[in-house]
């Protein structure tokens, strides 16, 4: 394990009642990274981070957190990790400032300063039950950071939050990254992974399918684009010739015409070729649209196991139902 590695996992296996949940998983997280674990429900993400924290004992494999075994060296590893798990909660009547005092150790930083930084300074005397969902999650971040951890583990941090609260929590996580904190994030929200993570690890059935930056996974597994436009209310005599020209552009997979609307699908080169053809034909249609894939499209392709082109967006494919159900 190099000095820059915060987490090193090799050959992790964990089963419950004969059912394998994590199956020979390898994982590395380097200092200062924000790494996301993504995948459908049952992929083994939460079990993996629980083993990393020493909350569960692996059946096989080697785990090192900052060079220590999280089970054997639990007393030394625990203070180095700050975490917020799916079932995080506090007593309803506990006040915000009381929670900070309760969790503080001799390593604690200024809890009041943290509350101010995460927008909770005015809520110090408020009971936990009175906090909004976004405020609760920001409080959990404060508690996770309170004792100066070198690693923060977050599991479904923004699940169930409204868009405004999610943005607030995302901003808080970005601040962690800017300060050099290492973050391991488990999320079903793939837009969240794209926004926050420098690297993502896609899992299925307890195994790693692929890893890389969100852009790298999109390029590898959803490198397509769809350009749509209308031919106009007045039929032009060159429609047939124009469509025949589009049918020969580089990177094309298909040209589909539905009434007066045309959809051109292929790799991303088609965007430039179709745009050039429309400019040459003139005038450019007002309803021109370009659909680009995102991390969800890439994960759909990975979960479906074909490892190739992401189709026309993938939203009608079986794996998309798995992702939706997981949310």
pLDDT of residue 3: 61
**What's the mean pLDDT in 19-45?**
94
- Residue 216 corresponds to which tokens in the numbers above? 């790298």
Domains and CATH numbers, the chain: 5-86+148-212 (3.40.50.300), 224-291 (3.30.70.920)
d(CA 183, CA 24): 22
Cα angle 84, 86, 92; round to 5 = 80
What pLDDT, in 10s, does the model give residues 65-98? Answer: 999 999 999 999 988 999 876 666 889 999 999 9
Label residue 172 by pLDDT band (50, 70, 90). confident
Whether 271 has a pLDDT exceeding 60, the answer reads: yes
- Residue 60 corresponds to which tokens in the numbers above? 């096989």
Whether 34 has a pLDDT exceeding 90, the answer reads: yes
Whether 104 has a pLDDT exceeding 70, the answer reads: yes
d(CA 149, CA 81): 5
What is the chain's length? Answer: 327
Contacts 24+ apart (CB under 8 A), 49-54: 49/153, 49/155, 49/184, 49/186, 50/85, 51/9, 51/12, 51/14, 51/22, 52/7, 52/9, 52/153, 52/184, 53/77, 53/81, 53/83, 53/153, 54/78
3-state secondary structure of 111: helix
What pLDDT, in 10s, does the model give residues 222-257? Answer: 989 999 998 875 455 677 888 888 888 888 888 988
Backbone φ and ψ for 299, nearest 5 degrees, come out as -70, -35
Categorise residue 212: left if φ over 0, alpha if ψ from -120 to 50, beta otherwise. left
| Whole-number percent of the chain with pLDDT over 70 | 89
pLDDT of residue 235: 53
**Alpha helices per DSSP H over 68-182:** 74-77, 96-103, 111-117, 133-145, 163-178
d(CA 97, CA 22): 39
pLDDT of residue 307: 43
Label residue 133 by pLDDT band (50, 70, 90). confident
- Residue 58 corresponds to which tokens in the numbers above? 């692996």
- What mean pLDDT is reported for the chain? 86
What pLDDT, in 10s, does the model give residues 180-231? Answer: 889 999 998 899 999 999 999 999 999 999 999 999 999 999 989 999 998 8
Whether 1 has a pLDDT exceeding 70, the answer reads: no
d(CA 177, CA 197): 9
Whether 163 has a pLDDT exceeding 50, the answer reads: yes
Backbone φ and ψ for 91, nearest 5 degrees, come out as -60, 140
Q: What is the pTM of this model?
A: 0.79
Whether 317 has a pLDDT exceeding 90, the answer reads: no
């Amino acid at each position: 394990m190099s000095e820059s590695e915060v987490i090193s996992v090799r050959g992790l296996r964990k089963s419950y009642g004969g059912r394998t949940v994590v199956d020979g998983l390898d994982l590395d997280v380097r200092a200062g990274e924000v790494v996301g674990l993504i995948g459908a429900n049952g992929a083994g993400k939460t079990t993996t981070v629980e083993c990393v924290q020493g909350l569960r004992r692996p059946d096989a494999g080697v785990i090192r957190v900052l060079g220590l075994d999280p089970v054997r060296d639990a007393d030394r590893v625990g203070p180095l990790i700050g975490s917020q798990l799916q079932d995080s909660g506090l007593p309803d009547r506990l006040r915000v400032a009381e929670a900070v005092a309760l969790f503080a150790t001799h390593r604690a930083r200024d809890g009041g300063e943290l509350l101010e930084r995460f927008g909770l300074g005015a809520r110090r005397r408020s009971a936990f039950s009175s906090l909004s969902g976004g405020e609760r999650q920001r409080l959990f971040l404060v508690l996770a950071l309170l004792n100066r951890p070198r690693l923060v583990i977050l599991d479904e941090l923004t699940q169930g939050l409204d868009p405004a609260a999610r943005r607030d929590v995302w901003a808080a996580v970005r601040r962690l990254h800017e300060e050099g904190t290492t973050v391991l994030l488990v999320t079903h929200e793939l837009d969240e992974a794209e926004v926050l993570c420098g690297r993502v690890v896609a899992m299925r059935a307890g195994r790693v399918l692929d890893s890389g930056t969100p852009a790298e996974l999109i390029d590898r597994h959803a490198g397509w684009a769809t350009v749509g436009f209308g031919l106009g209310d007045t039929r032009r005599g060159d429609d047939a010739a124009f469509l025949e020209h589009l049918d020969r552009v580089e990177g094309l997979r298909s040209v589909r015409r539905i009434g007066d609307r045309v959809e051109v699908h292929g790799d991303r080169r088609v965007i430039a070729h179709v745009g050039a053809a429309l400019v040459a034909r003139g005038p450019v249609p007002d309803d021109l649209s370009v659909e680009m894939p995102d991390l969800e499209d890439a994960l759909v392709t990975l979960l479906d196991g074909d490892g190739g082109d992401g189709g026309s967006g993938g939203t009608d494919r079986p794996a998309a139902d798995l992702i939706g159900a997981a949310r």
